[in-house]
């Protein structure tokens, strides 16, 4: 027999179990993931946290409502649902909502609200996630500020079968954009994308603007006014292919002139490329107009037989402000310089409109009338062959002063009839272990010196084309991987030799050292100078410093001894020291007269790039400070002159030297002092 008490207890237990089950059901929840793309929002030019919000409600709950994970959802800024940027224009957020509850929401842009256009997506209807159970990831949504938003997976372009849509965006009001012809006040600006045609299968082309971009806003006060965007359609078969491209302003405004192309790997589904600044330069809010006076002295060209006005040769200045080479074909008078009072000087004045304190690149160019001669680009010695630069201050007029073509001054000219045997030497051992470029194979590969300055090559009667086997083959007679070779340089020419080392063979191809493709920046090649003695006598022999073959990166080059190095841009100064042969500085230190000779320990030690030490002289006398390797070879001469008594500080750059122990020595008639230092790479 079961007592009444027992029956009652059983019923209470069942009721309690039911309550627990009901409570568990009420607490059940699911995770919702939303993904958003803001490329269609004209004023989204940032990726900071908090720019995008999810506003809405759980329909059977009060607003604001605290979600199971602690987030708050509301139709105003009380919401805490703020997607994180996950790369480019893509945003994502995950949060929890109760099971079997409907979610209504819209995306909101605080940045768009700040510009005065309102932050809400357009469209009458809210986005709705129906009640149900189970985690849900909604399809990628494009922020809609252009239309009705009738379907959730709206796109800014028409979807086409068997194609991949790629959305390009570029912000045009930048320093380089203005220089290349972008005028915010002009109508009918044509901005487009040009690029590798991918064997004719892709939508782009280098010679024609096939993909034209449209301005995203008609309001000059909005960021979208300077944003241009548009779509290119790729065959689905091109997925996984690398597309190289650049943005272009008609008729001649290439961005990133002389710099590597932009690129992306074509995906297997539609995508957007995050917006970029045209030319990767700073945005411009204020423009200034001024006349800039360019003047160049061509006397060294005349003396070297490279310029003849009677033949019809002309001097031209080219830069982004006149379309670089496009000026030659479209309007050569706009970039021509004219003979001044001094018959060796040519000058012109060009009206520029640019941002104050922006840096502007340019070069002088000889338009030769001699048949078969190369393009007459100067390879500016002071800049290591790269473009010249000046700061556009807005001063009107801005006179840049007299420049020398190629920066060849009187001290840079090897006179007519002078012959110098120049020996090149390079350590190929690092190339045995290259990881990016093909490794060097001593059994199959030959080593060469490539001379890339076309005008210098003209003075040496070298072939105008760069052949794989010319002009200078090096050899390794003793098998130590140090390759050497000698070239006889004949004047008249200039003493700054620009070159790079290269190895390879006709079967496996050729590998050249340093930066590939970035041909307009300092460090794209080595420069070394042959110098006369104090009595102006030129040597009959000269040996280039021993350097290691460099797989990639900027190459060190020597400062032009006739240049005012301090006036050059800092990146040029940082590079223009001879590889392992020149100190950064040798400076006297004020103080009492030293009582004895001394050579201090260097600091830091070990070091990677540069180190500093001091020495003292109790009396005036000849001083030589050198750096030796452990085989006793001189790798750097830091001081070689008569110095007065005092204390001197030397800052030594170790560019081009490999890891290891070296000896630095103070050599005077009164004695020799030496210490060791260690380079660690």
pLDDT digits over 595-646, tens only?
A: 788 888 887 788 777 788 889 888 888 898 989 888 877 888 888 888 888 8
User: What mean pLDDT is reported for the chain?
Assistant: 84
| Of 527 and 329, the one with more pLDDT | 527
DSSP 475-508: B-SSSSSEEEEEEEEESSEESEEEEEEEEEETTT
Query: 296: alpha, beta or left, given left = phi > 0 and alpha = psi -120 to 50?
Result: beta
Q: For the ranges 338-347, 457-466, 576-585, which has the lowest average pLDDT?
A: 576-585
User: What is the token pair recorded at 136?
Assistant: 């849900």
| pLDDT confidence tier of residue 418, bands split at 50, 70 and 90 | very high
Highest mean pLDDT pick, 54-58, 457-461, 510-514: 54-58
Query: Would the pLDDT of 26 be above 90?
Result: no
Query: Would the pLDDT of 668 be above 60?
Result: yes
| pLDDT confidence tier of residue 102, bands split at 50, 70 and 90 | very high
**Percentage of the chain modeled with pLDDT above 90:** 37
| pLDDT confidence tier of residue 20, bands split at 50, 70 and 90 | very low
User: What is the token pair recorded at 116?
Assistant: 């005065």
| pLDDT confidence tier of residue 294, bands split at 50, 70 and 90 | very high
| pLDDT confidence tier of residue 25, bands split at 50, 70 and 90 | very low
Burial of residue 617 (number of CB atoms within 10 Å: 0-12, 13-18, 19+): buried
| Of 491 and 27, the one with more pLDDT | 491
CB 424 within 8 A of CB 347: no
| pLDDT confidence tier of residue 468, bands split at 50, 70 and 90 | very low
pLDDT of 400: 94
| pLDDT confidence tier of residue 114, bands split at 50, 70 and 90 | confident
User: What is the token pair recorded at 173?
Assistant: 């009001």
- Going by DSSP bridges, is the β-strand pair 262-265/496-505 parallel, antiparallel, or unpaired? unpaired
User: What is the token pair recorded at 57?
Assistant: 């409600």
| pLDDT confidence tier of residue 123, bands split at 50, 70 and 90 | low
- Helix extents (H) in 503-659: 570-575
Average pLDDT over residues 535-541: 86
Give CA separation, 500 vs 250, 497, 527, in Å: 36, 10, 9
pLDDT of 464: 55
Average pLDDT over residues 285-300: 87
Instruction: Determine the Cα–Cα distance for residues 106 and 306; give it in Å rounded to an integer.
Output: 69
| pLDDT confidence tier of residue 273, bands split at 50, 70 and 90 | very high
| pLDDT confidence tier of residue 107, bands split at 50, 70 and 90 | very high
pLDDT of 140: 87
pLDDT of 151: 60
Query: Would the pLDDT of 213 be above 60?
Result: yes
pLDDT of 152: 63
| Strands lying side by side in the sheet with 646-653 | 583-589, 646-653, 610-617, 598-599
pLDDT of 17: 42
pLDDT of 22: 42
CB 268 within 8 A of CB 164: yes
pLDDT of 242: 95
CA count, 13 A, side-chain hemisphere, 387: 19
User: What is the token pair recorded at 209?
Assistant: 């603007």
Query: Would the pLDDT of 56 be above 90?
Result: yes
| pLDDT confidence tier of residue 681, bands split at 50, 70 and 90 | low
| pLDDT confidence tier of residue 125, bands split at 50, 70 and 90 | confident
The C-alpha R_g of the chain, in whole angstroms, comes to 34
**Percentage of the chain modeled with pLDDT above 70:** 89
Query: Would the pLDDT of 413 be above 80?
Result: yes
Neighbouring residues of 106: CB distance < 8 A, sequence distance ≥ 6: 54, 55, 56, 120, 121, 126, 127
Bridge partners for 413 per DSSP: 494
pLDDT of 3: 43
pLDDT of 622: 87
């Amino acid at each position: 027999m079961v007592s009444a008490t027992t029956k009652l207890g059983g019923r209470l237990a069942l009721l309690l179990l039911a309550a627990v089950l009901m409570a568990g059901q009420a607490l059940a929840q699911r995770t919702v993931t939303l993904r958003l793309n803001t490329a269609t929002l004209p004023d989204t030019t940032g990726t900071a946290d908090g720019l995008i919000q999810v506003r809405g409600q759980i329909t059977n709950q009060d607003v604001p409502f605290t979600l199971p994970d602690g987030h708050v959802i509301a139709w105003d800024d009380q919401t805490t649902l703020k997607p994180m940027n996950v790369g480019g224009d893509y945003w994502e957020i995950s949060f929890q909502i109760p099971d079997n509850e409907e979610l209504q929401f819209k995306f909101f842009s605080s940045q768009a609200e700040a510009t005065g256009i309102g932050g809400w997506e357009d469209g009458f209807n809210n986005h709705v996630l129906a009640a149900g159970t189970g985690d849900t990831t909604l399809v990628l949504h494009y922020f809609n500020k252009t239309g009705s938003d009738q379907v959730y997976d709206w796109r800014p372009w028409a979807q086409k079968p068997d194609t991949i849509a790629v959305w390009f965006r570029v912000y045009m009001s930048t320093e380089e954009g203005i220089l290349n012809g972008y005028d915010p006040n002009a109508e009918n600006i044509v901005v487009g994308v040009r690029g590798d045609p991918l064997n004719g299968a892709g939508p782009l082309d280098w010679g024609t603007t096939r993909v034209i971009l449209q301005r995203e806003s008609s309001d000059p006060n909005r960021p979208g006014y300077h944003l241009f965007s548009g779509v290119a359609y790729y065959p689905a078969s091109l997925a996984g292919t690398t597309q190289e491209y650049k943005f272009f302003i008609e008729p001649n405004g290439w961005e990133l002139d002389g710099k590597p192309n932009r690129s992306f790997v074509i995906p297997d589904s539609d995508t957007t490329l995050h917006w970029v600044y045209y030319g990767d330069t700073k945005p411009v809010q204020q423009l200034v107009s001024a006349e800039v006076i360019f003047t160049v002295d061509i006397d060294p060209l005349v003396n070297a037989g490279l310029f003849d006005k009677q033949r019809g040769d002309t001097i031209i200045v080219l830069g982004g402000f006149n379309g670089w080479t496009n000026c030659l074909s479209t309007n050569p008078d706009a970039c021509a310089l004219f003979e001044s009072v001094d018959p060796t000087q040519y000058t012109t004045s060009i009206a520029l409109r640019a941002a104050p304190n922006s840096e502007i690149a340019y070069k002088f160019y000889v338009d030769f009338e001699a048949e078969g001669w190369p393009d007459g680009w100067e390879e500016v010695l002071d800049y290591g062959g790269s473009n010249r630069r000046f700061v556009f201050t807005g001063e009107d007029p801005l006179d840049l002063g007299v420049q020398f073509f190629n920066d060849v001054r009187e001290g840079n000219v090897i006179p007519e009839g002078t012959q110098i045997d120049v020996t090149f030497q390079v350590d190929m051992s690092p190339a045995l272990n290259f990881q990016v470029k093909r490794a060097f194979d001593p059994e199959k590969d030959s080593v060469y010196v490539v001379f890339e300055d076309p005008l210098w090559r003209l003075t040496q009667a070298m072939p105008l084309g760069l052949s794989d086997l010319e002009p200078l083959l090096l050899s390794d007679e003793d098998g130590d991987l140090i390759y050497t070779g000698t070239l006889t340089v004949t004047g008249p020419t200039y003493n700054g030799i620009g070159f790079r080392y290269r190895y390879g063979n006709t079967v496996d191809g050729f590998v050249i050292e340093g930066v590939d493709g970035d041909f307009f920046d300092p460090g794209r090649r080595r420069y070394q100078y042959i110098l006369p003695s104090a009595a102006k006598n030129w040597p009959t022999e000269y040996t280039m410093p021993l350097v290691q073959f460099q797989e990639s990166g900027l190459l060190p080059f020597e400062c032009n001894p006739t240049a005012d190095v301090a006036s050059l841009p800092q990146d040029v100064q940082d590079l223009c020291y001879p590889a392992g042969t020149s100190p950064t500085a040798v400076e006297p230190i004020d103080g009492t007269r030293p009582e004895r000779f001394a050579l201090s320990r260097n600091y830091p030690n070990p070091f990677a790039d540069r180190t500093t030490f001091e020495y003292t002289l109790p009396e005036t006398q000849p001083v030589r400070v050198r750096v030796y390797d452990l085989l006793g070879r001189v790798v750097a001469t830091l001081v070689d002159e008569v110095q007065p008594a005092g204390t001197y500080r030397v800052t030594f750059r170790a560019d081009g030297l490999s890891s290891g122990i070296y000896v630095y020595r103070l050599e005077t008639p009164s004695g020799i002092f030496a210490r060791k230092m260690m380079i660690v790479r």
